[in-house]
């Protein structure tokens, strides 16, 4: 037996007793919004393929039609084999970062291997011991990890409570060199939305740095799908706008939109970028391919919003406790074991629903997180509200 096992097994048993044990399940993709487990198809209500691009068979076929002997390494190579600062910095990076900067109208963009890498590496690189980080209480785990690694003092304000944030700024701003306000735009587990106009007003008033994680809004919100900041017309007021390619854009990686000086500094100080093997050419090539299509997917964005509004209304009409105001719809159950049972009942009926439990969400707020895709249609979801209501009883 491994010497660690006697220490770890009791903790695993305790997690299981509390209904908090996690397990990995092998799945395969099918067309549209379906996934397959054990040969059985399910409607995927737990993924983040918000525009249906990751499972678009024709789009994938169109992408690979450019594969030939001349492009197989430069555009479709499976590995980078080194970090960006060694020999892994494919010319595709420059094209992708230039296009992002052009779309967002900013000085620069910097691509990381994932959104997690952005959030765990940027704040530690920028925030020093004389600085303060003020973060929304429900910020994603990757942001929390980044804040813990930073040398700055950290405080967390109540979720979406900008009055409390203003009070903290009034009483503490003068004590710190720089203050970073950290928030998501669409919150990943609650589906609710930050008030960016209020936040940008506060950050301008108190001369703060605004760090905005748009992971669940990129591709989904804004006239060109650039996120909530574009929708609200405040992109120019945000020092660090973080996006991901791994959700609505159906790929792999994350990015920071920022000034050219900030990007150059991060190249020299952000450890996840410096010490990680670069993304392979095939991933970067796919991101460039998809990014050009995002601004034109206006109808897909509208369809997604209609689906979410209809489903949320139907769930509320059945007396369920439902949160959010986006394509992420949490149905609050409370008890973790009860949430697990509800998710299992829904899977038996062909819905792939995941129970989200502490510590991912606060204690006593276990939930079913229903995540929609533009690849669905109203008929796909017509039976869902009644079956969710039955499952959580």
Please give the structure tokens belonging to residue 15.
């997690």
Q: List the chain residues with pLDDT less than 70.
A: none
Strand 354-356's sheet: what is its strand order?
A: 328-334, 366-371, 354-356
Q: Where are the alpha helices (DSSP H) in 183-331?
A: 196-205, 228-232, 260-269, 271-275, 281-291, 298-317
Q: What is the pLDDT of residues 282-318, one digit of tens each?
A: 999 999 999 999 999 999 999 999 999 999 999 999 9
151, exposed or middle or buried, with CB in 10 Å at 0-12, 13-18, 19+? Answer: exposed
| Omega cis (within 30) before 300 | no
From 244, 274, 295, the end of a domain falls on 295
Same domain, 270 and 143: yes
- 65 belongs to a structural domain: no
Grouping H, G, I as helix, E, B as strand and the rest as coil, residue 317 is: helix
CA angle 229, 94, 92 (to 5 degrees): 110
> How many domains is the chain partitioned into structurally?
2
pLDDT digit string (tens) for 25-79?
888 888 889 999 999 999 999 999 999 999 999 999 999 999 999 999 999 999 9
Q: Are 390 and 362 in contact (CB under 8 A)?
A: no
Measure Cα distances from 250 to 55, 98, 245, 291 in Å.
8, 20, 6, 10
Q: What angle do CA 90, 82, 282 make, to 5 degrees?
A: 45
- Please list the active-site residues: 48, 140, 184, 188, 213, 216, 247
CATH number, position 241: 3.40.640.10
Same domain? For 97 and 182 the reply is yes
Where does a domain end: 295, 326, 347? 295
Same domain, 159 and 248: yes
Torsion of CA 10, 13, 17, 22, to 10 degrees: 130
Q: What are the pLDDT digits (tens) for 6-32? A: 999 999 999 999 988 988 888 888 888
Domain span at 183? 91-295
Tell me what pLDDT residue 69 has: 97
What is the pTM (predicted TM-score) of this model? Answer: 0.94
Last residue within a domain, chosen from 295, 310, 344: 295
In contact, 220 and 50? CB cutoff 8 Å: yes
């Amino acid at each position: 037996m491994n010497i660690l096992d006697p220490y770890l097994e009791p903790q695993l048993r305790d997690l299981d007793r509390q209904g908090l044990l996690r397990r990995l399940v092998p799945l395969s993709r099918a067309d549209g919004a379906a996934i397959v487990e054990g040969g059985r198809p399910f409607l995927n209500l737990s993924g983040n393929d918000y525009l249906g691009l990751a499972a678009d068979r024709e789009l994938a076929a169109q992408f690979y039609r450019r594969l030939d002997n001349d492009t197989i390494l430069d555009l479709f190579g499976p590995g980078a084999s080194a970090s960006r600062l060694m020999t892994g910095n494919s010319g595709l990076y420059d094209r992708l970062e230039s296009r992002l900067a052009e779309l967002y109208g900013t000085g620069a963009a910097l691509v990381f291997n994932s959104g997690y890498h952005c959030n765990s590496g940027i704040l530690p690189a920028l925030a020093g011991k004389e600085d303060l980080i003020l973060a929304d209480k429900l910020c994603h785990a990757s942001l929390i990890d980044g804040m813990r690694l930073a040398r700055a003092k950290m405080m967390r304000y109540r979720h979406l409570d900008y009055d409390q944030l203003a009070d903290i700024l009034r009483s503490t701003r003068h004590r710190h060199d720089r203050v970073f306000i950290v928030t998501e735009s669409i919150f990943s587990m609650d589906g609710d939305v930050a008030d960016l106009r209020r936040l940008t007003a506060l950050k301008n008033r108190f001369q703060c740095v605004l760090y905005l994680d748009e992971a669940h809004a990129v591709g989904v919100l804004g006239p060109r799908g650039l996120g909530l900041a574009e929708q609200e017309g405040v992109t120019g007021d945000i020092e660090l706008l973080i996006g991901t390619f791994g959700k609505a854009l159906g790929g792999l990686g994350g990015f920071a939109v920022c000034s050219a000086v900030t990007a150059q500094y991060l190249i020299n100080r952000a450890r996840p970028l410096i010490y990680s093997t670069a993304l392979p050419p095939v991933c970067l090539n796919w991101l460039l391919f998809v990014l050009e299509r995002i601004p034109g997917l206006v109808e897909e964005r509208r369809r997604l919003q209609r689906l979410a509004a209809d489903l949320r209304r139907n769930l509320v009409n059945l007396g369920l406790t439902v949160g959010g105001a986006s394509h992420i719809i949490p149905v609050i159950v409370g008890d973790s074991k009860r949430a697990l049972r509800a998710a299992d009942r829904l899977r038996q009926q062909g819905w792939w629903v995941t129970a989200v439990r502490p510590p991912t969400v606060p204690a006593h707020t276990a939930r079913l997180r229903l995540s929609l895709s533009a690849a669905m249609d109203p008929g796909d979801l017509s039976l869902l509200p009644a079956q969710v209501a039955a499952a959580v009883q």
